Each structure stands twice: as structure tokens, then as C-alpha cells.
Structure 1
Amino acid sequence: MTDLDQRIASVLRERAEGEIDTHRLLHRSRTQGRRRQLRRRVGAGTALALVGVLGFVGVSGTDLSGLPGRLPWTAATPTVALPVPPRADGVPGAATDPARVGTDPTVLHLGVDPAKARYLGWSVRGLAVETVRFEFDGGQPVTVDVARTVEAFDGLGIDGFPVDAVPTRRAFDGTVRQVPGGSGGLIMSWQPATGVYARAAMLGGDRAALARAVDALRWNEARRCAAPLRLTALPKGASVGGCAVDVSSFPKGLTVTLTIYGPRSATMFVSLQHAAQMAGTRTDGNRTIDGRAAYVFPDGGKLELLGIPQAHLTADFGWPVKGFTEVDAATVLAGAQVAKDLSRPETWD
């Protein structure tokens, strides 16, 4: 478990006694349902499994639990145009310029062949690790983490895998390793190009399936960490340092989490959680942001901008990610731009 994982887990435990958070409650109930479904599928010998949660950074298809890049997967309606991160024109892929990997929170220096796989999510975390999640072979989910150093994998867990079963700092020689403990997990670490380190993880399936998944990756292209959320105003000295998008349950829902870093390790998570069936649970604000109703949570570390149809837009700046204030969060939310139609990826940019 990474230091960030531990901090987020602490946040959830700390706030367990406060007001019920409908976002997290929705996430937990759906996550439990997925786990039960996973156990049934594994018991039946199927290849489907759950791997992953913003991280990007996940949320029930609608919540990242504050952690970029940690995303669960569910089926999406096949008749709907599915989100694909758009190409970053003029930007070389990891195979062409390995030094660029993990240096831009808005760019992924790899892609997935859409003829072989469907994107479930993508993220750039901490200006170090880029992640794509996709499904292939009729629903087999895979997560791939990419970095330009071996050290970036230290403590970088994989959701669905036991913490002590995830290898770190092992040789990136292409060997496929079975995860101990009977989970059926497979992990492959390799170098797709000199100066590029990659790790693919899959629950269920076999070595041949993992090889097909790896073959779907494209290392000679770059794509933007596109999302239906833009931040146009930041506190002084702050910058966006992480991006995570979960489209695993699209079009029924999606989640975006953008991480803001500031001076003296200040951190803020800005999340857009959308669900087509979501009904507003809070209409009475206790704050205003540029004349719009807003709500600060009882613990004083989370601010929500109200009035966005079928969505929650929040800024989490409280313990343990201290450094920013409610005023800072209000500044960010005041400048946040949400796509008018969250169900149409072509309108996100």
C-alpha cells in the first residue's frame, strides 16, 4: 500500500462517524455487489474478474474513493459510443521518448488498440506512473502501470491483489508470475522499450490471455487524459498534478478525480461523480460560491458545489491532505467547468 493509499484510508476511517456521505455509500454498496459477483464468477470458472480503484485514483463507476487510478470495472452498454482518450497530437509515445513518461499529468504516452480492447479508465498519478485499464476477450479486465524508473513501483499496489503478493523491484524481464494465495492473479513486468518499465496485472484468465492483452498496447502513440471536467482557477502556487478517469460503467456513470498540489505538500482532490440515476440528495447549501449554492461537510474538509444535474462536484482538502483551505477549494470550484452532456464523450473537450 502506498503512502497515499494509507492517507486516503485514514480519511475514510476518520469520517466514519460524521454525516453519511451518499457518494461513498453508493460506492461501497456497489463494490460489495461486484465482489459477490466476482466470487460467483470465479466459482463457475469464468475468466471475468475485478482488478483495480483513481485513480484515477475507484467509485462504483461513479466514485474513486479519493484515490486516483483505482477504478472498478463493470459492463457498459455496447450501443453507446464509448469514451476513448483522444490522441495528443505531436507528442511522442513512450517507445519514441521514454523520458516523457510520467512527466505531464495530462498525457498518457501509450494507448490501447480499440479493435482489440475497450478502455475502462486511464490516469496519471503523482507525475510518476501512467495507467490504462481495459477489457478484452469479451470482458477480461487488465490494468497496466507504466513508469520510467523501477523505483516508481515501490509500494504501488494493485487493487484486488493481496498487498504482500504484489512484487516490487523485481526484474522487468517479461516473466509472468502467478500471485500466491489462490486468487488466480497473474502479473507480468517487462520493458517495452529501453527506459520504460511496465507491469500488467489480471485476475483470472491464463498466460495466453495476458499475452493477448499486452499485445493490445500501443507504445508509439500518446493520448490526453481527457475528462468532462476542467479547472480554470487554482490557488496561488498550485498546479494540477494528477488525473484519473473511470468510464468502466459508462454511460450509466463515470468518475473524474483531479489532484491539485500546492506549496509545502498541500494536496486537494477535486472529483466529479456522475450517475444517470443520481437524484440530488442535498439542495440546501450552507455556503455560496459566486452566487451558487454550496455545502461544506461537517468535518470542514470537503466542499461541494450544488446544482449540477446527475452529478456531485466536490473538493476534498481536509485531513490528512492538509495545506489548502476552504477558500482555496471555493476558488477551484468557482472555476470548474463541467461538460454539458456527460453522456457524450465528444463534448468533453
Structure 2
Amino acid sequence: MFSDLDQQLAATLKQRAGGDVDPAPIVAHARDHGRRLRRRRRGLIAGGMAAACAALTVAVLAVPPGRTPDDAVVPAAAFRLPEASGQPGAIARPEDVGADPGVVHFSADALVSGADSATWRAGRGIESVEFRGPTGQARFALARSEASLDGLQQTLSSAGRPQPPTAVLVGGRPGAAWFDPSGDQKLWFVRWQPADGLWAQLDSYAATRDDAIGVAGRVRFDDAQRCVVPFRLESLPPGGRLLECSVTLGDSERRPFIDGSLVVGDGSGRWLTVRAQLVTNGYEARSGDLVAGDYRARRQGSDVLEMVVEPCVVEAFLKGWGNGYAESDGLVVLGGYRPARDFGRPDTW
């Protein structure tokens, strides 16, 4: 089994090292980052927002305001999603992984403990968690195929010189590990099969291969959680359905929510993203002249619609992050935005 895995990984790494780079995702993420910076200057900020966009590369982890390296470790419960009652874990039903945007079929308490924020995702064939904090940054992803893992964009900083993979065992299961230099440290990639029909990968900074494997072994596949955001979308375009859920949780007991996104699409490959982010009390909303149900929205450039529904700024990404939907479709979706009553209780979302 490892021989096939080794060859597939080596081919993938070689192809990525010498292949052409698609500029579209890079431009989209850069533009999104620019919008974030402009909002920060206007006062739009939620603690740890930089971690909310998984596409941004982060090389240095800073201690957040109000915390010191000597502070008590934030418990994993601060980043835990609500339990998905009656839903099996990935080991019991591998075929369910990535198929339901409302369910994450693994748990990672031992990984996220001590983090500042954790971003959970489910849907479109992938389930993942990415976290960052004073002690490090890592991403774990679970899928039903290697191709799905190969399609993930790298989100942790490295030198871009991946080394050849070597055979490893994770929890007694076969896999491979390789590293990419990253300054004074190494970015390790550990890929393995927790069960037949499942592929898992952990990207993390570690001193040695054994350290990286030890971290990978902390993930559990006998549990299921609900991917939840503090809002609903009650108006979808014809044929539209929910494709993906993403939520970033912080370490605040009073307001754990940082941001959340829902991706809506249809069978023709069209999709758009609606994202809500917390705002500060000093943020002044700009008036909009577009009607979105009971709300007023405005254009933010040619491909983003924005409105303020306390306590969040809500955006609909029509291009770059989406494909094929018109402005009128985005206004329909935003018109159906319904916020939760309590942003401090994920179990009620």
C-alpha cells in the first residue's frame, strides 16, 4: 500500500513544484485581505480575525492583547462545536465525510487546547479544523479521497521546497510524512488512512518527524459535531442548496464567535459565499442603496455586496470566491439572512 502512496505523493509534489500557478485564487485572496485592512482602519476588528481567513499565510504567531505567554491554557471546550447527536464518527461511516456541510465527523480537543482561535469547515468533500495560538499553528483535514486533499491550498508558511515522503505509521495505520523548510523550523505534512475509504492530513510545525506524527495521533474519529454559524439563510436562488459551512471560534466565553461563512450553490457548479464578521461598537455603517429584503446593502467593488446587521458586517461574495451568480441573486440571499438571538451560545445556533 505504501508503495502506491509514495508514488502518488511524489508525483503530486513534483507536479506542484514545476507546474504553472493559477493566479485567480491568489488575486481573490489578496483583494479580500486588502478589504480586511481597510476595515481595520475604520475600526472593524474582532479578536483574532487574521485567523478567520484560512487562505492567508501566517509566519509569526503573536500573543493577542490581554494575554501573556504565562496565561492559563485556554481549554479545548472554548473551541468545541455542539455535539451532533445521533451522528456517527468518521470510522463508523467513512462515506459521510464531507458530504453534509452541517456535520464534522471527528474531534480534535487535544489539538486545539491552548489556541487563540479555531476555524472549522465541513462540506464539498472536505472536513477540517485550523487553529493558531502562542504555541503554534496547524491544520487537520479529512476526506474520502487523496485527490480532495491534494486540492487543498497550503495555508501555513514554508520555503516551497517539499522533501520526498517517507513511510510512517499513525495509530498503527500506514501513511507518509514529508517536510518543507520554514525558516528555523520545519512544516511537516503527515498523511495517512485512519480507515479504509478515509484520508487524513495534518500540516504542523514540528522539530522532528516523530513529533509531527505524535500530534497527528491526537485526532479522534469516533465523534461527530455540528458545524454551526449564528445565522440562517432563508432565501436561496432557484435550485440552490447549502454546500459548505465554516466558523471561527475564539477564546472569549462571552462572545466566542469571530466569523462564519455559508457557501450556497447548485448542480451546475455555481456558488457564492455569505460571510458574517463581528464588528466593534465604534464601527459606522455606510449607507446602502440596494434592497435586500428588509435590509439595505451596498456594493463593495464589483463583486461583493455588504450590509450591517448587528452585531455583524455581512458580505456576499459573487466572484473570486464564487462563480456564476448575479448581483440580484446575492441580494435575494442577503434578504434571507436571519441572525441568531444569542451570539455567545453556539449550542443554540
Q: Normalised by the size of structure 1, how large is the TM-score?
A: 0.73
Q: Which amino acid aligns with 2:249?
A: V
Unaligned runs of 5+ in 1: 30-57
Alpha carbon RMSD of aligned pairs, Å?
4.0
Partner in structure 1 of residue 339 of structure 2: 338
Question: Deviations 1:75-115 (Å, cap 9, x if unpaired)?
Answer: 67767972411121111111111111111111111112369
Q: Which amino acid aligns with 2:337?
A: A
C-alpha change, 1:239 and 1:75, in structure 2 (3 Å) is farther
Partner in structure 2 of residue 141 of structure 1: 137
Compute the displacement of 1:282 (Å): 2.6
C-alpha change, 1:170 and 1:266, in structure 2 (3 Å) is farther
C-alpha separation between the residues in 1 aligned to 2:197 and 2:131?
24
Q: Which amino acid aligns with 2:341?
A: K
Q: Note if 1:261 corresponds to 2:265.
A: yes
Question: Deviations 1:268-311 (Å, cap 9, x if unpaired)?
Answer: 11001114x36334331122323432212242x221222423x2
Unaligned runs of 5+ in 2: 1-15, 43-47, 68-72, 169-173
- Contact 1:154-1:168 at 8 Å conserved across structures: no
Residue among 18, 35, 38 paired with 1:25: 38
Partner in structure 1 of residue 12 of structure 2: none
Residue among 117, 126, 130 paired with 1:129: 126
C-alpha change, 1:110 and 1:253, in structure 2 (3 Å) is closer
- Contact 1:188-1:201 at 8 Å conserved across structures: yes
Q: Note if 1:60 corresponds to 2:61.
A: no
C-alpha separation between the residues in 1 aligned to 2:103 and 2:222?
13
Compute the displacement of 1:4 (Å): 12
Map 1:9-48 onto structure 2 (within 5 A).
Answer: 9-11=26-28, 21=35, 23-26=36-39
- Contact 1:102-1:130 at 8 Å conserved across structures: yes
Residue among 169, 183, 186 paired with 1:184: 186
- SS of the residue corresponding to residue 269 of structure 1 reads strand
- SS of the residue corresponding to residue 27 of structure 2 reads helix
Compute the displacement of 1:9 (Å): 2.6
Residue among 284, 288, 310 paired with 2:291: 288
Fraction of identical pairs, as percent: 22
Compute the displacement of 1:162 (Å): 4.1
Q: Which amino acid aligns with 1:64?
A: C
Q: Normalised by the size of structure 2, how large is the TM-score?
A: 0.73
C-alpha change, 1:25 and 1:348, in structure 2 (3 Å) is farther
Question: Deviations 1:30-79 (Å, cap 9, x if unpaired)?
Answer: xxxxxxxxxxxxxxxxxxxxxxxxxxxx9524x528x6x99997767767
Q: Note if 1:318 corresponds to 2:319.
A: yes
Partner in structure 2 of residue 93 of structure 1: 89
Question: Deviations 1:168-225 (Å, cap 9, x if unpaired)?
Answer: 9997833432224544211111111121111111124444543442232110111111
C-alpha separation between the residues in 2 aligned to 1:235 and 1:117?
39
C-alpha separation between the residues in 2 aligned to 1:4 and 1:339?
40
- SS of the residue corresponding to residue 118 of structure 2 reads strand
- SS of the residue corresponding to residue 306 of structure 1 reads strand
- Contact 1:293-1:307 at 8 Å conserved across structures: no
Q: Which amino acid aligns with 2:277?
A: Q
Partner in structure 2 of residue 236 of structure 1: 238
C-alpha separation between the residues in 2 aligned to 1:333 and 1:212?
44
Q: Note if 1:152 corresponds to 2:130.
A: no
Compute the displacement of 1:249 (Å): 6.3
- Contact 2:165-2:176 at 8 Å conserved across structures: no
- SS of the residue corresponding to residue 60 of structure 1 reads helix
C-alpha change, 1:150 and 1:195, in structure 2 (3 Å) is same
C-alpha separation between the residues in 2 aligned to 1:186 and 1:305?
40
- SS of the residue corresponding to residue 230 of structure 1 reads strand
Question: Deviations 1:12-35 (Å, cap 9, x if unpaired)?
Answer: 56789xxx73x3535799xxxxxx
Choose 1 or 2 for highest CA Rg: 2
Partner in structure 2 of residue 41 of structure 1: none
C-alpha separation between the residues in 2 aligned to 1:130 and 1:231?
21
Task: Give the aligned length.
Answer: 310
C-alpha separation between the residues in 2 aligned to 1:27 and 1:186?
33
Residue among 197, 218, 221 paired with 2:220: 218
Q: Note if 1:117 corresponds to 2:123.
A: no
